[in-house]
Chains A and B, each alone.
Chain A
Amino acid sequence: AQTVTQSQPEMSVQEAETVTLSCTYDTSESDYYLFWYKQPPSRQMILVIRQEAYKQQNATENRFSVNFQKAAKSFSLKISDSQLGDAAMYFCAYRASGSARQLTFGSGTQLTVLP
């Protein structure tokens, strides 16, 4: 079974600084998809960024980028120019290719942004 590990339960960053959230996963598949989801306090979970394993280029969405290391099975999220609105719980998630539809989530990292 696939597992997703987020080893940092809590992180903090100063406003306008850069922070990196770690995620590792375990799979025997060669093709799969990785996601970062954000859950703000008392608000709905939303997708931040996604990466297809067959793509070598790291995904980027504005201030959010990933460092995808397939051989190391690592998928970290970098948030640049952190803003107060980035404070949230961040979840890393994995989905196998093929007919699989379900996601396997990590335990989450609570990010605090300090003014």
Chain B
Amino acid sequence: DVKVTQSSRYLVKRTGEKVFLECVQDMDHENMFWYRQDPGLGLRLIYFSYDVKMKEKGDIPEGYSVSREKKERFSLILESASTNQTSMYLCASSRITVLRTDTQYFGPGTRLTVL
């Protein structure tokens, strides 16, 4: 079974702190994604990566950056955390398939609170 893990289930940080959220997948997937989930808004894509050191902006990249130095690990960085970044953050991964019906596998999520 595919396993996607995230470094923390719950995280509390202060405004202005630099925050690192880590995601690791164990199935050699090419694609990795970071979403944030807010009530009534569903999941919104922040960034994704389709290869090591490659990244593309999603729908809401402002205030975030990412790093992918190894294929299995994708990090989300909040350079200077703000209260409006309080949210649930979900990581996902998928492999590239010919039929383009690749499933995204999700981690358990990190609930981040910025005070």
Given A46-B106, A101-B31, A102-B33, also A108-B42 (CB < 8 A): yes
**Interface residues of chain A: helix, strand, loop or mixed (majority):** loop
CB closest residue in chain A, given B32: A101
The answer, yes or no, to whether A52 is at the interface (CB within 8 Å) is yes
Is the pair B103, A47 in contact by a Cβ cutoff of 8 Å? yes
**Chain B interface (Cβ < 8 Å from any Cβ of A):** 4, 31, 33, 35, 40-45, 48, 50, 58, 90, 92, 94, 96, 99-104, 106-109
The answer, yes or no, to whether A30 is at the interface (CB within 8 Å) is no
| Chain A residues bordering chain B, tally (CB within 8 A) | 24
Is the pair B108, A102 in contact by a Cβ cutoff of 8 Å? no
Chain B hits for A37, CB < 8 A: 106
Could you count the A-B residue pairs with CB atoms below 8 Å apart for me: how many are there? 50
0/1 string, A42-56, CB within 8 A of B gives 1: 011111001010000
Q: Give the CA-CA distance A52 to B101 in the complex, in Å.
A: 8
A26-60 with Cβ < 8 A to chain B:
33, 37, 43-47, 50, 52
Interface-central residue, A44, A50, A91, A98, by most chain B CB under 10 Å: A44
Is the pair A45, B42 in contact by a Cβ cutoff of 8 Å? no
Q: Give the CA-CA distance A43 to B9 in the complex, in Å.
A: 11
Given A44-B107, A101-B94, also A33-B43 (CB < 8 A): no
Is the pair A50, B104 in contact by a Cβ cutoff of 8 Å? no
Chain A hits for B106, CB < 8 A: 37, 44-46
Chain A hits for B108, CB < 8 A: 43-44
B94 CB, nearest partner CB in chain A, Å: 7
Is the pair A101, B42 in contact by a Cβ cutoff of 8 Å? no
Q: Give the CA-CA distance A91 to B38 in the complex, in Å.
A: 13
A25 CB, nearest partner CB in chain B, Å: 12
Is the pair A47, B41 in contact by a Cβ cutoff of 8 Å? no
Q: Which 6 A-B pairs give the minimum distances between C-beta atoms? A: A45-B106, A105-B42, A105-B43, A107-B42, A47-B103, A44-B106
